[in-house]
């Protein structure tokens, strides 16, 4: 008889990480459920898929990892060893990158808060490329540059105000991020660029935009590049010659989540020709940067939970697992479906199966469709959620006094290592204030 527990668990036609049932059950015994499991080889493969996608670009192309998607040190360490750049938003992220083997020289710092104190801190730590996105931010950067006595390679973040078909849109009229090209106010790309060019402590480096996350129609990039080209040519007529050394087209590459989505190659096919023409038309052989969080990390990771209860209702059955949206917040916020699989699987259930979490909250229902394989879900079996590496384990929260679960990694040698210790209930209790009521 075949021991099904040694069969690899996989998704048909998708090169997702494969873990054997034996390993998944073995890790569940040792570390408890739920737990996250990251595959290092998949992280590395995603970097090379991005590099291949833009291989026809005539200048230098650099991948940047957007650390906000997953700041686990093992993930950062893996990307640092690939020699890629890091897109950071806060000094605390910089600490994570430096402690995990990254270098300040490989950082593009794109803050939302843009305070003088944070600029001073990151400049003192060795960051030199900073993306500004407001007039106040620019003033703070100038002050920080004077105090630290360093020359800052300054990028201007624009909001190209193009329509984006995506779950999370970063570019739109009156959007939160980036500067409108024009509009007459001091918070326009035009005005900020003029000031950057005129400030001795700043060296103009280039432009940045970020259009959104999980972008499944790449035509918005083409539209944004077209608008940016017109802006550069116009600004040159007004300010004289300036050079674009870096163009950062932000994040947004989609993760599959069990469906077919455009690959980096598809995206490259759509825009690399246009980027090459931009090199010609502005006469600058700029470095092209694409920042990614979701694409680089989502597929690398599974979350393993256990069925703890079932209950029939009318035409269907509830399957309760010991996880909940407190460990998969991205799915709860976006209502998107992770591919889910019962391990070992059974025959497809004739009943409707509703997969629910352990939280006492009617919202704690996992979106599933026919793509999920929920047959054979009985207490004791494992339920594996795929593609959960982005914006999930970094958002774990202790709702219902639930400690943060273990994060494990299968490293390049195929061994399992602990990437984050699970929290004990006692530790959570202490961190929540515990017995001490210290004077404030």
Ligand X SMILES: Cc1ncc(COP(=O)(O)O)c(C=O)c1O
The minimum distance between CB 215 and ligand X, in angstroms, equals: 7
Question: What 8-state DSSP symbol labels residue 275?
Answer: H
Subset of residues 375 to 414 that bind ligand X, contact rule: CB under 6 A: 390
- Looking at the DSSP bridge assignments, the partners of residue 62 are 289
CA–CA distance, 135 with 171 (Å, rounded to integer): 19
The minimum distance between CB 69 and ligand X, in angstroms, equals: 5
Taking the least distance from each CB to ligand X, the nearer of 97 and 353 is 97
Residue 72 as a binder of ligand X (CB under 6 A): the answer is no
What count of Cα atoms within 13 Å lies in the side-chain half-sphere of residue 279?
17
3-state secondary structure of 302: strand
Classify strands 382-385 and 301-313 as parallel, antiparallel or unpaired.
Answer: antiparallel
Dihedral, CA of residue 51, residue 56, residue 60 and residue 64, to nearest 10: -30
Subset of residues 316 to 375 that bind ligand X, contact rule: CB under 6 A: none
Please give the helix or strand (H or E) that residue 291 lies within, else none: strand 287-292
Of the candidates 293, 324, 339, 357, which one interacts with ligand X according to CB under 6 A? 293
The minimum distance between CB 87 and ligand X, in angstroms, equals: 5
Residue 250 as a binder of ligand X (CB under 6 A): the answer is yes
- Looking at the DSSP bridge assignments, the partners of residue 179 are 158
What does residue 238 show for φ and ψ, rounded to 5 degrees?
A: -85, -40
Give residues with Cβ within 8 angstroms of 127, minimum separation 6: 88, 94, 104, 107, 109
Taking the least distance from each CB to ligand X, the nearer of 253 and 383 is 253
Residue 213 as a binder of ligand X (CB under 6 A): the answer is yes
Kindly indicate which of the ranges 285-293, 304-312, 337-345, 392-400 contains the residues binding ligand X, using the contact rule CB under 6 A. 285-293
Of the candidates 72, 111, 188, 292, which one interacts with ligand X according to CB under 6 A? 292
The minimum distance between CB 250 and ligand X, in angstroms, equals: 5
CA–CA distance, 423 with 437 (Å, rounded to integer): 22
Of the candidates 34, 102, 206, 251, which one interacts with ligand X according to CB under 6 A? 251
Kindly indicate which of the ranges 64-72, 346-354, 395-403, 431-439 contains the residues binding ligand X, using the contact rule CB under 6 A. 64-72
Total residues belonging to the chain: 440
Kindly indicate which of the ranges 8-16, 54-62, 290-298, 408-416 contains the residues binding ligand X, using the contact rule CB under 6 A. 290-298
* Contact status, residue 157 vs residue 110, Cβ threshold 8 Å: yes
Of the candidates 62, 128, 195, 294, which one interacts with ligand X according to CB under 6 A? 294
Kindly indicate which of the ranges 41-49, 66-74, 116-124, 314-322 contains the residues binding ligand X, using the contact rule CB under 6 A. 66-74
Of the candidates 23, 40, 87, 322, which one interacts with ligand X according to CB under 6 A? 87
Please give the helix or strand (H or E) that residue 277 lies within, else none: helix 264-282
Q: Which residues of the chain form contacts with ligand X (CB under 6 A)?
A: 66, 68-69, 87, 110, 210, 213, 250-253, 291-295, 390
């Amino acid at each position: 008889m075949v021991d099904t527990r040694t069969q690899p668990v996989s998704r048909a036609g998708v090169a997702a990480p494969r873990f054997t049932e034996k390993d998944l059950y073995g890790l569940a015994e040792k570390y408890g459920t739920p737990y996250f499991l990251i595959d290092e080889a998949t992280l590395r493969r995603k970097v090379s898929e991005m590099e291949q996608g833009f291989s026809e670009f005539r200048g230098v192309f650099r991948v940047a990892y957007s650390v906000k998607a997953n700041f686990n040190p093992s993930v950062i360490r893996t990307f640092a060893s690939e020699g890629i750049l890091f897109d950071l938003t806060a000094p605390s992220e910089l600490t994570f990158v430096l402690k995990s083997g990254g270098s300040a020289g490989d950082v593009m710092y794109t803050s939302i808060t843009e305070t003088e104190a944070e600029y001073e801190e990151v400049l003192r730590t060795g960051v030199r490329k900073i993306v500004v996105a407001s007039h106040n931010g620019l003033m703070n950067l100038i002050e920080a540059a004077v105090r630290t006595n360093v020359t800052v390679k300054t990028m201007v973040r624009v909001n190209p105000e193009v329509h984006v078909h995506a779950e999370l849109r970063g570019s739109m009229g009156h959007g939160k991020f980036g500067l409108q090209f024009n509009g007459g106010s001091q918070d326009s790309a035009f005005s900020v660029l003029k000031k950057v060019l005129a400030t001795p402590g700043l060296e103009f480096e280039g432009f940045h935009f970020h259009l959104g996350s999980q972008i499944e129609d790449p035509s918005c990039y083409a539209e944004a590049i077209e608008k940016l080209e017109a802006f550069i040519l116009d600004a040159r007529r007004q300010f004289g010659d300036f050079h674009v050394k870096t163009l950062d087209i932000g994040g947004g590459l989609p993760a599959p989540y069990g469906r077919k989505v455009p690959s980096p190659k598809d995206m490259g096919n759509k825009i690399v020709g246009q980027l090459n023409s931009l090199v010609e038309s502005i006469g600058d052989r700029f470095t092209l940067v694409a920042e990614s969080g979701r694409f680089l990390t989502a597929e690398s990771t599974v979350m393993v939970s256990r069925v703890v209860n079932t209950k029939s209702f009318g035409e269907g059955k509830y399957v309760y697992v010991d996880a909940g949206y407190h460990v998969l917040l991205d799915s709860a916020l976006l209502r998107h479906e992770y591919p889910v699989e019962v391990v070992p699987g059974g025959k497809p259930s004739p009943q409707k199966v509703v997969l629910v979490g352990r939280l006492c909250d009617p919202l704690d229902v996992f979106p599933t469709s026919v793509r999920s394989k929920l047959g054979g879900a009985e207490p004791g079996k494992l339920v594996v959620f795929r593609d959960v590496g982005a914006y999930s384990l970094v958002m774990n929260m202790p709702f219902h006094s639930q400690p943060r679960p273990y994060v494990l990694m299968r490293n390049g040698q195929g061994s399992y290592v602990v990437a984050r210790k699970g929290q004990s209930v006692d530790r959570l209790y202490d961190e929540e204030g515990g017995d001490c009521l210290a004077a404030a």
